[in-house]
Structure 1
Amino acid sequence: MTAPHVVPGVHLLIGVDAGSANLRAADHLIHDLLDHLGLAPGTIACTHLIRTDERRSTAVSFALPDAATAEAVWERIAGGESADVGAVLRERSYGADQAVRTAALAAAEHAHRRGGRAVVYPGVEHLTGTVTVADLLALTAIDRVTVVGAPAADGQGPDPATPVLTRDHVRPEWRDGRLTLALVPAADRALAPFEVPNPTPCCADHA
């Protein structure tokens, strides 16, 4: 089968649609692969809400740092027995046509950095407890922070010294080519991620 969408210049990006019904299930899929394969620190793994006339799913994508890692992930996915899984890597595809198409859409969003909610990314291990805005930007792959309902003055974000209550659940998104974290005001002039951990409390299951 020929992949329905190949992004020029993207060689190490895998899109997967395993029929995940929600963010929790997609987060689990990412962490299951992380646990079994020991993905390299440079990996960025995202979830994508894909809606087509044929299929509604929360697909995932993996931007992988080297060819060996990409092949290991591909072999695990393509070696599975689920009939509902679709995946794409370069010109290769695996699975049912509908699932392959949504997997390709997820890979394309990530490749062009126009969509995708990052679950695994460089530096995410530092985002526990309370950190400052400055540390969040310096220690992770997050490029930009915004405060919901508070437009930045002169293009500047919040004060770098502002504390961020991570709640051990920080999910930035690709926006206009930049990994962006939306924050909201919290107690004592602190900030917190817009997405609360309650809908997708999966990370503790993989501790």
Structure 2
Amino acid sequence: MSLGHATLAEADHWIQTLAPAPVLACTHLVREPFPHVAISLLTAHTFATAPDLEPAVAAAATGQFGRAVRFPGVERLTGALTVSEILQRSSIARVEVLGSGPATPDTIVETGDFVRPQFRDGELILITTPAAGGTLVPFETRNPTPCCTDH
């Protein structure tokens, strides 16, 4: 579906207002008919898309990538957790270190209470980056630096 959200934050906020919460909700950056954020939902509810935004729905549906905002276990991913705990508490299938491959099960991930895994080929994959003290942090942060907010 597409409501024409201009930013990921706007789409995230809209998703968080849904009651009941969807089982899975992903955002997709689309270019048709103009650059914006489309949304895919796994829910019993239906949502209408304006006819002029239907190309965005088609683009999101054919894409192989999404950014998960809601997914099973997301509410249990707070604070510092080991990779193993993240995999046990949620539907995330893998935790990867950007450019380095899979993270080891005992590595600590400082979640910052904000986890947005990628939905790729039917799996949720949390991409992380190294942080101080041998820990990891999710690649996407709640408040990205200004140089990255438009990417």
Secondary structure of 1:160's match?
Answer: coil
**Partners of 1:46 and 1:159 in 2: how far apart?**
26
Count of equivalent residues: 144
Identity rate, percent: 43
Pairing of 1:26-175 with structure 2 (within 5 A): 26-33=11-18, 37-39=19-21, 43-52=23-32, 54-64=33-43, 70=44, 73-74=45-46, 77-78=47-48, 86=49, 95-96=50-51, 98-109=52-63, 114-150=64-100, 152=101, 157-175=102-120
Q: Choose the corresponding residue for 2:2, options 12, 17, 35.
A: 17
Structure showing greater Rg: 1
Give the match for residue 128 of structure 2: 183
Which structure has the highest strand share of the two?
Answer: 2
Query: Aligned-pair RMSD on alpha carbons?
Result: 1.5
TM-score with structure 1 length normalisation?
A: 0.65
Secondary structure of 2:85's match?
Answer: helix
Q: Detail structure 1 runs of 4+ shifted over 4 Å in the superposition.
A: none
TM-score with structure 2 length normalisation?
A: 0.87
1:9-58 residue CA offsets vs partner (Å, 9 max, x unmatched): xxxxxxx211100100110111122xxx2236xx1100000013x32210
Offset of 1:144 from its aligned partner?
1.1
1:89-130 residue CA offsets vs partner (Å, 9 max, x unmatched): xxxxxx22x312212332343xxxx21100000000111111
Name the structure, 1 or 2, with higher relative contact order (CA <8 Å, separation 6+): 1
Which structure has the highest helix share of the two?
Answer: 1
- Gaps in structure 1 of 5+ consecutive residues: 1-15, 65-69, 79-85, 87-94, 200-207
Offset of 1:175 from its aligned partner?
2.2
1:141-179 residue CA offsets vs partner (Å, 9 max, x unmatched): 1111110132x3xxxx22211110000110001223321
Amino acid at match of 2:114: H
**Partners of 1:99 and 1:181 in 2: how far apart?**
29
- Gaps in structure 2 of 5+ consecutive residues: 145-151
Amino acid at match of 1:48: H
Secondary structure of 1:107's match?
Answer: helix
